[in-house]
Amino acid sequence: MKTFDELGVAPEILKAIQEMGYEKPMPVQEEVIPFLLGEMNEVIALAQTGTGKTAAYGIPVIQCIDIRKNQPQALILCPTRELCLQIAGDLQDYSKYVDGLKVLPVYGGSSIESQINSLKRGVHIIVATPGRLIDLIGRNTVRMNEVGNVILDEADEMLNMGFSESIDEILAEVPSTRNMLLFSATMPAEIAKITKKYMKQPREIVIGNKNESNENVKHQFYTVQAKDKYLALKRIADYYPSIYGIIFCRTRKETQEIADHLIEDGYSADSLHGELSQAQRDNVMQKFRIKNIQLLVATDVAARGLDVDDLTHVIHYGLPDETESYNHRSGRTGRAGKTGTSIAIVHIKEKGKIRQIEKGISKKFEERTIPNGNAICEKQLIAWVDKLEKVKVEEEQITEFLPSVFRKLEWLEKDDLLKRLVSLEFNRLMAYYRNAPEIKAPDAYSSEGRREAGRDGREGREGRDRGPRRTSPGFTRMFINIGKVDGIYPNTLIEVINQNVRGRVGLGKIDLLQNFSFFEVESSVADKVINSMNKAEFLGRRVSVEIAQEKQGDDRGERGGSDRGERSGSERSGRFGRRPETQDDYASVRKSNFAKRKEGDRNRGSRTNDRGSFGTRKTTERKKRY
Ligand code: AMP
């Protein structure tokens, strides 16, 4: 392996990076630096985050700047403000001893005037997010005729974020003789298109296989029933007492909900997503960086700019659709020579996706079972004992208090003392987990597994529970006039109930149907729920809740139709000229639909569907963490 010196890095840059603790080049640097220092050739570098990409292009770009020309000579485009600031900061560090070199970060959400003033004074390297740069170009405040190098960093993410046209506009402003360097964690087809369009004969440098995962990352998955997903997350967090990680969710709403629940349950957590203001996001990221927060619940885009090297875990609360995104997420751990674990909490129907990711990253996942209460208590205890062993004893500070402590405890043997210390720390945790049931993976062949897998009607069709639905003892089954066409999920329904009914509401099974739904509530609060919910509105429509009619269980007409994806005319356009609002309205729609479908079924071979319920008993109140 060569040294930075041998790669041709100039002494003033060498001095700065040595001060930063860069002793030897990382593989991507060893490949890219000498190549770019040569003739400033064009490069496509595929390397994971955390592999030292910024220095790989930053060092040669700095070295090729002619300080005497007070003009932008290099342009670095990146997707987010955070990354922009991070890159500019790194370049400033590398060029600490390069006299007069000016690097300007240009990004949205900060004063454009001060950026214009800096541009007027003259800069050598611009690091920009595409939107703000276009704004500056539109105001004629940035000249790019001397730009010799354009770097697209995290090019895949810029495309994901819809910056493709902006990149075209920007590239039209720089001389056609410029070099282009493209750095990307992944190589989706769109990137290949860009390289064809804008690059002449780029050298492709691949660190590891394309999309191959970082060697330092272990990949694991847990299969759980949908209703247990959050519980499983808590157990995983409890099983790793020193966890410092990001929990990725698919939507902003889910991100906020999971973070809220974790906070409510006593975890050191917060959320990061696009609905927060920039100031809020900065605040959360700072708290996470300094480890005031152990768990950051985030969307992919919002977590982009976060630069943290020592994450122990990345948790996928929802798997992303693309292998590239999975790889990008999991590449946030196991960085800078450290090891990390990427954990996916999946539903049985996502196992196929796991296999697909395994192929993409050329690595096997380990399937794990959710730790039980005992295992968690033991893990926490050992971690605590470890801390006890390693705690720094501040002799001077405690000496004066010790005599009275010894006097008070002198009657206790060492064993007794330890037992008391452990009890003090762990009684609540142990009580919490004492009777906690195991969280089992749904067996694909059990009725639970089939019901779980069949929720979206794509899998597990055979052998479903066809018996009439029975109301759980102690519960009353309610009808509500909102259903899947209104875009509700079980969580949404729980939310609507929470928002409108005061106090604790014990909920049982929830059955979401196309136009309406059923849910069970503890019989003691049934009247209260009806009274409160009937004053409520959902998406501007009056909510109607009533006790479900006994015969309502047999709603095969509704289900059969929706499962085949062929909603009847009345469902699509409103057979009554309005949406039916009561069970009787629905009953007559169903009756006529059922008659039609029976006819259809006879032709097709009868197939009715009961997708079963969503989860077992839930309560809208949550327990505090032990
Ligand atoms: P990057 O992929 O550019 O985000 O870099 C990931 C991390 O590795 C950053 O914290 C860098 O400061 C660090 N780093 C980059 N190059 C080296 C090197 N040669 N030796 C040690 N650390 C490095």
**What's the mean pLDDT in 242-251?**
93
Atom of ligand 1 nearest to the CA of 22: 20
Confidence (pLDDT) at 502: 85
* Alpha-carbon span 81 to 105, nearest angstrom: 9
Could you report the per-residue pLDDT of 218-232, keeping only the tens digit for each?
999 999 988 889 999
Residue identifier of the C-alpha nearest atom 15 of ligand 1: 52
Q: How far is the CA of 509 from the centre of ligand 1 (A)?
A: 51
Could you report the per-residue pLDDT of 420-436, keeping only the tens digit for each?
998 888 887 887 787 77
* Alpha-carbon span 55 to 66, nearest angstrom: 19
Could you report the per-residue pLDDT of 361-400, keeping only the tens digit for each?
888 999 999 998 888 998 899 988 888 888 888 888 999 9
Strand order from edge to edge, sheet including 203-206: 103-106, 125-128, 74-77, 149-153, 179-184, 43-46, 203-206
597, 561 Cβ separation under 8 angstroms: yes
Q: Which domains can be identified in the chain, with CATH numbers?
A: 11-206 (3.40.50.300), 217-372 (3.40.50.300), 374-437 (no CATH), 475-590 (3.30.70.330)
Q: Does pLDDT of 571 surpass 50?
A: no
Residue to mutate (ligand 1; options 26, 85, 93, 151; most atoms within 8 A of CB): 26
Q: What percent of the chain has pLDDT over 90?
A: 35
pTM over 0.85: no
What per-residue string of b and e applies to 266-288 under the rule 16 or more CB within 10 Å gives b? ebbbbbbbeebeeeebbebbeeb
Confidence (pLDDT) at 197: 85
Judged by average pLDDT, the poorest of 185-194, 408-417, 474-483 is: 185-194
Cβ–ligand 1 contact at 59 (below 6 Å) = no
Confidence (pLDDT) at 36: 86
Residue to mutate (ligand 1; options 19, 84, 309; most atoms within 8 A of CB): 309
Three-state DSSP string of 595-606: HHHHHHHHHHCC
Confidence (pLDDT) at 565: 32
Task: Give the number of other CB atoms < 10 A from CB of residue 572.
Answer: 10
Atom of ligand 1 nearest to the CA of 47: 2
Cβ–ligand 1 contact at 49 (below 6 Å) = yes
Cβ–ligand 1 contact at 214 (below 6 Å) = no
Bigger pLDDT: 547 vs 187: 547
Q: What percent of the chain has pLDDT over 70?
A: 81
Cβ–ligand 1 contact at 55 (below 6 Å) = yes
103-106 and 340-346 strand pairing: unpaired
Q: How far is the CA of 338 from the centre of ligand 1 (A)?
A: 12
Q: How far is the CA of 287 from the centre of ligand 1 (A)?
A: 22
Residue identifier of the C-alpha nearest atom 1 of ligand 1: 52
Q: Which of 485, 488, 563, 558 is nearest to 519 (CA)?
A: 488
Residue identifier of the C-alpha nearest atom 16 of ligand 1: 52
Q: Which residue has the tokens 């209104």?
A: 486
* Alpha-carbon span 341 to 332, nearest angstrom: 10
Could you report the per-residue pLDDT of 500-555, keeping only the tens digit for each?
888 778 888 888 887 888 988 888 889 999 999 988 888 777 888 998 876 544 33
Atom of ligand 1 nearest to the CA of 21: 21
Confidence (pLDDT) at 211: 46
* Alpha-carbon span 60 to 38, nearest angstrom: 9
* Alpha-carbon span 454 to 462, nearest angstrom: 9
Atom of ligand 1 nearest to the CA of 90: 12
* Alpha-carbon span 568 to 562, nearest angstrom: 9
Atom of ligand 1 nearest to the CA of 48: 2
Bigger pLDDT: 203 vs 93: 93
pLDDT band at 213 (very low <50, low <70, confident <90, very high): low
How many CA atoms lie less than 13 Å away from 581 in the CB half-sphere?
8
Confidence (pLDDT) at 308: 83
Residue to mutate (ligand 1; options 17, 22, 92; most atoms within 8 A of CB): 22
Confidence (pLDDT) at 210: 47
Residue to mutate (ligand 1; options 20, 24, 93; most atoms within 8 A of CB): 20
Could you report the per-residue pLDDT of 94-134, keeping only the tens digit for each?
999 999 999 999 998 788 999 999 999 999 999 999 999 99
Q: How far is the CA of 246 from the centre of ligand 1 (A)?
A: 20
Residue to mutate (ligand 1; options 54, 311, 333; most atoms within 8 A of CB): 54
Q: Does pLDDT of 58 surpass 90?
A: yes
Could you report the per-residue pLDDT of 152-174, keeping only the tens digit for each?
998 888 887 888 889 999 999 99
For the chain, the average pLDDT equals 80
Cβ–ligand 1 contact at 309 (below 6 Å) = yes
pLDDT band at 314 (very low <50, low <70, confident <90, very high): very high
Q: How far is the CA of 475 from the centre of ligand 1 (A)?
A: 59
Residue identifier of the C-alpha nearest atom 21 of ligand 1: 22
Cβ–ligand 1 contact at 305 (below 6 Å) = no
Residue identifier of the C-alpha nearest atom 11 of ligand 1: 52
Q: Does pLDDT of 241 surpass 70?
A: yes
